[in-house]
Homo-oligomer: A and B are copies of this chain.
Amino acid sequence: MNTDIYSESPVVHQPAFIDGHSVEIPILKILKQDGSIYENATMPEIDQALATKTYKTLAFHRVLDERMVAAQRQGRISFYMAALGEEAASVGGAAGLKDQDMIMAQYREQGALMFRGFSLENFMNQMFSNEKDLGKGRQMPIHYGSNELNYMTISSPLGTQIPQAAGYAYGQKMQGLDAVTICYFGEGAASEGDFHAGLNMAAVHQSPVIFFCRNNGYAISTPSDEQYVGNGIASRGVGYGMKTLRIDGNDILAVIAAVQLAREYAVKEGKPVLIEAMSYRLGAHSTSDDPSGYRTREEEAKWQEHDPILRMKNWMLAQGWWDEAQETALFEKLRDDVLAAVKVSEKIDKPPVEDLITDVYDQAPPLLQSQFEQLKEHIKKYPDAYPFTAGRIK
């Protein structure tokens, strides 16, 4: 170690505090709500193709969320989580990455998976926990995952993916890959011990991770000013000696620019970056939540004016890359597609009873096998009690 720690700091002789708010962290904004670009702003690398793909992904996201919240109200699925008003964080994140980069999300980042090309059917089958779900019907709706698309399966316990991302990225670097890991989490999850563990370990072991905090103002009912003191969590980056960037999370160009910059740095320097995207969760936390119990309509209305999708649309229109006819056609088609897909997926069978015991281990141990045999005998004895599986047991 450096034994001369005394000499690294300037010396004072009067006891006085460093103030808790002594780091001023600016916020990056590129795109205005009206679709124009701030004067002198530096644009991310983006061409018409990328912009169009990004915008279409945002539209898909908005439509899927709307429809599935409705489907939950109708009792067709058990649960859903929308990302209304903060779609730019996940979609822009994926747009700033390469396909080989690993995405480790919290749960409100379906947009990144959409951008990677997870099909509508895949989304549906997961939400309906049917036998075509890649996750074999084992997790609640919205816990997507895809090995092929480098999108780590969502895990409900909050914050656990943060140190995992540090390890994952360390492995990527050890192998010499041109790949990084992006790790999403909410400002609420940033209070977990695993956040501290993950950021510090990534800093010390120089893992190429982009830690991406979606600061949407709430953790369920808990407002961010009961979550931490200060104006965000970006200031913590400094505590880990980590490069840090705060952005307007509703500004898709700022998101892409920040992630592109972070990726370049992470690959070249082999070190982590912290991005904090300021946004607002416009909808309920989940379909089990009712925000009217803890916040005002006025507050929500104010944030409605910062809609990230409308903002991008305005820019696309201004670029001449998009028009209202395309808009109408796209949204119509998306709505139809989603409705049609719901109807298909909800009719697909539940997973086979075998999937109760697969994947617990690589191979089911004898005791589990015998529990399974007993279960099958039992179901055969009481077929009416287990209607979804009784007819399918060999």
Contact = CB atoms under 8 A, between A and B. Distances in A.
A13 B29 contact: yes
A174 interface: no
B15 A42 contact: yes
A234 interface: yes
Contacts of A236: 236, 239-240
A28 B13 contact: yes
Given A9-B24, A42-B13, A228 B246 contact: no
Given A1-B225, A13-B38, A278-B5, A18 B28 contact: no
Contacts of A224: 1
Contact of A192 (B13, B191, B193): B193
Interface in A223-274: 223-248, 254, 257-258, 260-261, 265, 273
Contact of A23 (B6, B18, B27): B18
A197 interface: yes
A218 interface: yes
A106 to B, nearest CB: 18
Chain multiplicity (copies): 2
A40 interface: yes
In this complex, the interface size class of chain A, counting residues with CB under 8 Å from chain B, is: 35 or more
A24 B217 CA distance: 29
Contacts of A132: none
A241 B228 contact: yes
A239 B233 contact: yes
B28 A231 contact: no
Interface in A325-380: none
Contacts of A23: 18, 22-23, 238
A393 interface: no
A318 interface: no
A386 interface: no
B18 A273 contact: no
Contact of A19 (B16, B239, B243): B243
Question: What are the 10 tightest A-B residue pairs by CB atom distance, in nearest-first order?
Answer: A193-B193, A229-B241, A1-B223, A236-B239, A196-B196, A13-B41, A20-B241, A230-B241, A17-B243, A239-B239
